[in-house]
Structure 1
Amino acid sequence: MDKIEPFNAQILEAACKVLADTERGLTGLELAYIIQDCKIVDVDPSNTKWKRLFNSLAEAQNKYQVGNHLIMFINRALNPVSYARKKEAFEWRRSELNVVLSFSGYQVREDGQVIRTQKETTLRGARERAGALRIKLEDRNAHQEVFNYCRAELLDQNYFHAILEAIKGVAQRIRNMSGLSTDGAELVNSSFSVKNPILKINSLQTETEISEQKGFSNILVGLFGSVRNPVAHAPKTSWPLSEQDALDIFSMISFIHRKLDTTTKIGGSI
């Protein structure tokens, strides 16, 4: 490996916080193994994970005046062989590291290896380069329910199946709220009927509120009919979907979930 310029403290810290993230990062045992494998001194094994890793890498960087140890650690930590059954973890770590490393002109490839690339100078540029649909949805402040039902698909940038899972999540949430077991238009029409509703998005006391309930019901039926059904029944190659279309559909799903947040059940609690 060629000599790499030392990374500044901010880049090193940010990378360590990704690699040793509390929920999605490496475990303490994994950290210890890779630190030893990289022949780095584990200078602070009793500290929190990210500080332990930061102190070890900083000590090596200061001693040898090179940044090679961080790259070496990432190459080992993101070896795809270790993620055969943890693809989501791999994609999250790779995506987050690419945001951090892009400021120094590096990128983690799909095979887990770090390569040189064009240096970014802005956060927006770095995040765009990371190429994560998940990040773009976060920028839109998408409702958390969207991520709950399609996290793995989002991290694969698989728009086709991610949208299917997200819409299935809408239907399941309505079933949970209404107590019904039906699906599609039947589920929506029974749940949000204006004559005998099970669920209501407002008090249904005025013509305007009744119209709003009808309109919301139509949006749901339209989402199931125009998006979910074609996605569910057509091959991926027969229903091409751009990133922009995917983002717009996810925004609609997010809007629906926000409406459901304030929806109440007639004659009982949800």
Structure 2
Amino acid sequence: MAKMFTQMQLQAIADALGDTDEGLTGSEIGYLLRTARMDDPDAGLAKRHRLYNAFALAQNTKQDRRLILAFIRFAMKPEQYARDARRFEPMRTNLNRALAFVGLAVEPSGKLVSMEAVETLGQAQRRASALRADLEVRRVHHDVLRFCREELLQENYFHAVLEATKSVADKLRSRTGLTDDGGVLVDRVFGGEHPLLAINDLKSESEKSEQKGFANLVKGMFGMFRNPVAHAPKISWAVNKDDAEEVFTLLSLVHRRVDAAKMPPRPGAEQ
């Protein structure tokens, strides 16, 4: 027997795609229904009711869900949102929350894929995490995400920032063999006439200035994001989603420069 959505599953999908603030527009719904070769029996209804009725009619007529899946694929093509890219991820997040219960998900590429179905709202929320979706779009460095995977799943921005900032110190220790932390670690890695790591050739005054500026950036990042978060109670140091995304973007920049940094030859070392 062909797979079919339950009434509740159809309603959740229609609610996500027809969301008042973050869903499809009325004209987009009409166009996509035509593209998916689905009837539009109640074009005058509210968007989510219009979609539900169209989905239910198509599924009952065909006795399978293929037309609804086709609609989702058409609706979630990223190129359709090129002129207003901010709409795509919120809609994808809402839709993935509904699809999680049927073992489906829309990837950032717009591809509809199968995965293990969830059983609870908490599982669906974590899978459809808006923060993770935004970070994928921003191409946040994988080492940043590796340090705060559990916090991201829970959308715990406060501790996600703390754990993500630790990733930079961990990489500096890994590359140099040092055991220091914080500003002392940064000074030993990037400071002095013969730093352990150099982000450029250090041949001109401009390059030396860039090296010093980068060291100050990393130390400032520790001072602003790591130390206050580590020592202040969560209730007194609020970190919202937008703040977390900006911090992760900065951390990604730092990681990429450290990845590309060279280890200059030390005076007296064998060449």
TM-score w.r.t. the length of structure 2 is 0.55
| 1:13-67 Cα deviation digits (max 9, x unpaired) | xxxxxxxxxxxxxxxxxxxxxxxxxxxxxxxxxxxxxxxxxxxxxxxx99x9376
Q: Distance in 2 between matches of 1:230 and 1:96?
A: 39
Residue 143 of structure 1 and its aligned partner are, at CA, apart by 1.1
2:168 equivalent among 167, 170, 186? 170
8 Å CA contact 1:171–1:184 kept in 2: the answer is yes
Of the candidates 141, 144, 169, which is equivalent to residue 143 of structure 1?
Answer: 141
- 1:133 is displaced (CA, Å) by 0.7
Q: Shift of residue 141 of structure 1? A: 1.0
Alignment match, 1:241: 239
Aligned partner letter, 2:216: N
Native 8 Å contact 1:201 1:259 kept in 2: yes
Aligned residue for 2:239, secondary structure, equals: coil
Residue identity in the other structure for 2:264: I
Consecutive unaligned residues of structure 2, counting only runs of 5 or more, are: 14-58, 66-95, 111-117, 267-271
| Deviation, structure 1 residue 110 | 2.2
Question: Following TM superposition, by how much is the alpha carbon of 1:261 offset from its aligned partner in structure 2, in angstroms?
Answer: 1.4
1:4 counterpart residue number: 7
The aligned counterpart of 2:187 is 189
SS of the residue 1:195 aligns to: coil
Partner of 1:257: 255
* Superimposed CA distance per residue, residues 59-105 of structure 1 (whole angstroms, 9 cap, x where no aligned partner): xx99x9376xxxxxxxxxxxxxxxxxxxxxxxxx969738848x9xx
* Consecutive unaligned residues in structure 1, runs of 5 or more: 12-60, 68-92, 115-128
Q: CA deviation at 1:250?
A: 0.7
1:200 partner SS: coil
**Separation (CA, whole Å) in 2 of partners of 1:111 and 1:160:** 19
1:110 equivalent among 112, 121, 125:
121
**CA distance 1:265–1:97, shift in 2 (3 Å):** same
Q: Is the 8 A contact 2:201 2:207 kept in 1?
A: yes
Shift of 1:259: 0.4
TM-score calculated relative to the size of structure 1: 0.55
Aligned length: 172
Tell me the residue number matched to 2:218.
220
**Contact 1:6-1:65 at 8 Å conserved across structures:** no
How many percent identity over aligned positions?
43
- Give 1:30's aligned residue: none
Superposed, 1:95-134 pairs within 5 Å as 97=100, 100=105, 110-111=121-122, 130-134=128-132
